[in-house]
Structure 1
Amino acid sequence: MHDAPPSPTSIGEEPLSHGLKQRHLTMLGLGGVIGAGLFVGSGAGISVAGPGIVVSYLLAGALVMLVMRMLGEMSAAMPASGAFSVHAERALGRWAGFSVGWLYWFMLVVVLAVEATGAATIANGWVPGVPQWTWVLVFMVVFTAANLAAVRNFGESEFWFAALKVGAIVLFLVLGTLAVFGVLPDTDPVGLTNLTGQGGFLPNGWAGVVSGVLAVVFAFGGLEVVTIAAAESEDPARAVGRAVRSAVWRILLFYVGSMLVIVTVLPWTAMKPGQSPYVAVLDAIGIPAAGQIMNIVVFVALLSALNANLYGSSRMVFSLAERGEAPAGLLAVSPGGVPRRAVIASVAFGFVSVLLNLKWPDTVFLYMLNAVGAVLLFVWALIAVSQLRLRRRIEREAPERLTLKMWCFPWLTWVALAGIGTVLVLMLGDDGARPQVLWSAGATAAVLLVAWLREFRELWNARAGRR
């Protein structure tokens, strides 16, 4: 039903700018794993897993590291602004590239509304006189302007956003560690009491650890943008290789390390879903205005994610247009190498999502949010399947491109697929997560149907033309 996908060696030159420097990608990689999901959402994981949340993050982090290693292997060999959408097309056919590209774009522009609304809520708390919708408008206009300008503007803004987030979490780790050993003024050593008391390290058993995985696995979303951005760097293959290789220690330090500090400093029973455990720790060790400090950090994290998602969605839809899977009008590129129409198209749908979130947050927008709730897992699964197909083809046709290799291929690729499947099954068994899987499966089925109908129509037209 489709032509043979292009050879790995037939890789065209991207018409986009190459204005991103290595420092931009390094900080984008560092900041990409530090979001509002970590600062606020981790409280829900701790409340169900207790100190075992450390194991939950290790399991979820291991899965993400495998996915990023696979994605890094393909992106280093075949850099493209569409990243995994391009890889899926080359590995499985046009239907796969079309489906994963549009699903990922839809996910980004819907989640963008959550981030814009969340940042506006915080800003409205600081300046109550300015309506929430006004803040949303300001954020959207500012980041649209930044993304319409040269790509280095996006790189610079993400660099400083990430620098603030990285600085905040490093400071948190230092203060928390000092509190554990009683080095801070007016504090006694905490020791390991909170890890072993209150029901032990696994107060809710392994069932709690599994629930913790479901609560935290989606906090790792956003790492994929690094491989999209790498195509606009000075040396794409080298840049993406560096970003992926550093993923291991970033995940261990920022996620697992901070969780270990939190459940060591405070008893896990003190955590409440919706409340930032970071604020609770800072309050406990006597840091003044801890809540406001963390509000600023979460605010920056939300704006950073909004900026990155706007960038990622515009590049994804531009890549789809390049391959004839989106309107050709989106291919217009500015003299500076920015796909301005793709940016505007993504922003336009983002504005619609924001309006739906402000007007009907518990009905229309909730359905949209559920429809993208598990899309990230589907994207990860297609990344793994694509890598299984492309690895052997690259080894056969262009082995010199394999500058970054997946560990223990193909066994760990199959392990990652099994892990993704397990998470989906567990979500189906969870009352809160089940709607996300079902709605996301419906959205995926709809996109796949469109992809197959398009290919069937093209095949029919081709046969009719030969008669």
Structure 2
Amino acid sequence: MKAATAALSRGLNARHIRFIALGSAIGTGLFYGSSEAIAQAGPSALLAYLIGGAAVYLVLRALGEMAVSDPVPGSFGEYASRHLGRLPGFVTGWTYTFEMVIVCVADVTALGVYMGFWFPDVPRWIWVLGALLVIGLVNLLSVRVFGEVEFWFSLVKIAAIIAMIAGGIALIALGSAHGGAVGVSNLWSHGGFFPNGAEGFVLCFAVVMFAFGGTEIIGITAGEAEQPERTIPHAVNTVPVRVLLFYVLTLGVIMSITPWQSISSSGSPFVQIFEGLGMTSAAAVLNVVVITAALSAINSDIFGAGRMMYGMAQRGQAPAIVARVSRNGVPWMTVVIMVVALLGGVLLNYLIPERVFVIIASIATFATVWVWLMILLSHVRSRRRMSAEQTAALKFPVPFWPYGQYLTIAFMLGVFVLLAFGEDTRVALVVGVVWLLLLAVVHWIWVRPRNADEVPAAVES
């Protein structure tokens, strides 16, 4: 490995970018976390996923506009530094890294739960540790290897979801034809579409937004994409289709096959459904799929956090050693840092295996929504600085400007408020505020003196 800093390798093609984007949206939030959203809101969780997906789409369009115009390492961390100032950029970059660590802990926790389907007596933390070591090794190889691994992981997930939807629709048709308990009527026959009222519907957004965490990795890939001006828009524009197909339609099928209150958080609802119907072979196959989904998400999390830290090191916002790149164009030290940090997930799964998922999912939601809010604010500030000619020259402008942006900003602020109402989610606000204050202190003591003579061009204007 080279001791000196080198450049990242542009080894991700259009196929890689599309499937990395798909992989980031289809992970633990759907295969495992969806059971928590269903428990809170019942069938109305479908509407929550639609609304949340629309908000995230506008975030990604804002990020896409900036990434296509200027694909840089560090992506939205760099944009926040340019348009909002060095402190917001520093906080955004490290909060995204924190988000990826927490989301990854949630992913490895879910993987441990899935393995319990076959090995109920094996401690969960053993599977967590094994997954970290394998995925860490994959990320130390070239970025093209990472792209290929993520492509096949995502392909397995997508094929399985489509097959499950088709099989579920067939079960619904047969169940309805024979007057059985299986049918679309399950969406309103057990307490109505809003069985827990408006309160349950609103509170489920804290879990729903966690499901979309990681989609912003599309912006991170721009720094290593071969043709970002073509691949990024295509990846972003497929988000509405993914939301409708992979979340709303899938969960609609699940809750039509079995009443929503029968779905527990002890495992993946996908596996529970087919296991409950006596289709043990299908349940076993789906368990392989959800394990693949978890591995895919862990793979993307380590990649995204590593590239963010690399970009921050180039701006003097992270230790210089983080910017060291191997002969294959991989920032190897960031992978080492992520794997070491994620060993904390092994410890949590050893100490509090029952409560760990909800707690870390809510903390991840805080970090995720903070990053999305910074993306939106960076975009608004960058647009406000543009001349009419610059705006007209944009290759991938956001829709519904400016009202869509302002409405999405208000929505993200509302999600922060929601975290205060749940016993397990309230800790996310405490951890989040402490984290932001800690970053502010570190910036004031360490980063600010080192970069005192540097002023981002966009901020000084």
- Give the direction of change, closer, same or farther, for the CA distance of 1:406–1:460 in structure 2 (3 Å limit): closer
CA distance in 1: counterparts of 2:109 and 2:363, whole angstroms:
19
One-letter amino acid of the structure 2 residue matched with residue 379 of structure 1:
V
Show the counterpart of 2:82.
90
Query: For 2:33, what is the secondary structure of its paired residue?
Result: helix
Question: 1:105 aligned to 2:97?
Answer: yes
Aligned to 1:24: 16
TM-score (norm. length: structure 1): 0.87
Give yes or no for contact 2:32–2:269 (8 Å, CA) kept in 1. Answer: yes
Aligned positions of 1:76-87 closer than 5 A = 76-87=68-79
Corresponding residue number in structure 1 for 2:28 = 36
Q: Are 1:424 and 2:416 counterparts?
A: yes
8 Å Cα contact 1:77-1:401 kept in structure 2: no
Quote the residue 1:334 is aligned against.
Answer: 326
CA contact (8 A) 2:138 2:146 kept: yes
Gap change, CA 1:401 and 1:172, over 3 Å in 2: farther
Equivalent residue number for residue 8 of structure 1: none
Matched, 1:258 2:218: no
Any residues of structure 2 matched to 1:113-124 within 5 Å, and which? 113-120=105-112, 122-123=114-115
Q: Distance in 1 between matches of 2:63 and 2:47?
A: 24
Deviations 1:231-285 (A, max 9, x none): 2111112211111011111111111111221222222232233343323432455
CA distance in 2, matches of 1:88, 1:115: 28
Aligned to 1:218: 210
Q: Which residue of 2 aligns with 1:289?
A: 281
1:446, CA displacement in angstroms? 1.6
RMSD: 3.0
- What's the secondary structure of 1:168's corresponding residue? helix
CA deviation digits over 1:318-340, x for unaligned, max 9?
11101111111222222322112
Given candidates 332, 346, 352, the residue that maps to 2:338 is: 346
Quote the Cα distance in structure 1 between the aligned partners of 2:350 and 2:278.
Answer: 40
1:356-375 equivalence runs, <5 A:
356-361=347-352, 372-375=364-367
- Cα drift, residue 148 of structure 1: 1.5
Aligned residues: 448
- Unaligned 5+ segments in structure 2 are 1-5, 455-461
> What is the deviation of 1:168?
0.9
Tell me, in whole angstroms, the C-alpha distance in 1 between the residues paired with 2:127 and 2:211. Answer: 25
Counterpart in 2 of 1:439?
431
AA aligned opposite 2:426: R
Task: Indicate yes or no: 2:37 matched with 1:52.
Answer: no
Distance 1:40 1:460, change over 3 A: closer
Shift of 1:438: 2.0
| Distance change >3 Å, CA 162–CA 368, structure 1 → 2 | closer
What letter corresponds to residue 149 of structure 1 in structure 2?
Answer: L
Identity %: 35
Q: What CA deviation, in whole Å up to 9, does each residue of 1:102-146 have, x standing for no partner?
A: 111122224333433443454476468987555444433322222
Residues 283/459 of structure 1: CA separation in 2 closer, same or farther (3 Å cut): closer
Q: Partners of 1:279 and 1:130 in 2: how far apart?
A: 19
2:150 matches 1:154: no
What is the aligned partner in structure 2 of residue 272 from structure 1? Answer: 264
CA distance, structure 2, for counterparts of residue 199 and residue 370 of structure 1: 27
SS in 2 for 1:116: helix
In the alignment, which of 393, 397, 408 is matched to residue 400 of structure 2? 408
TM-score by length of 2: 0.88
Q: Report the Cα distance in structure 2 between the residues aligned to 1:455 and 1:215, rounded to whole angstroms.
A: 34
Q: Give secondary structure in 2 for the equivalent of 1:76.
A: helix
Alignment check: 8 A CA contact 2:113 2:267 kept: no
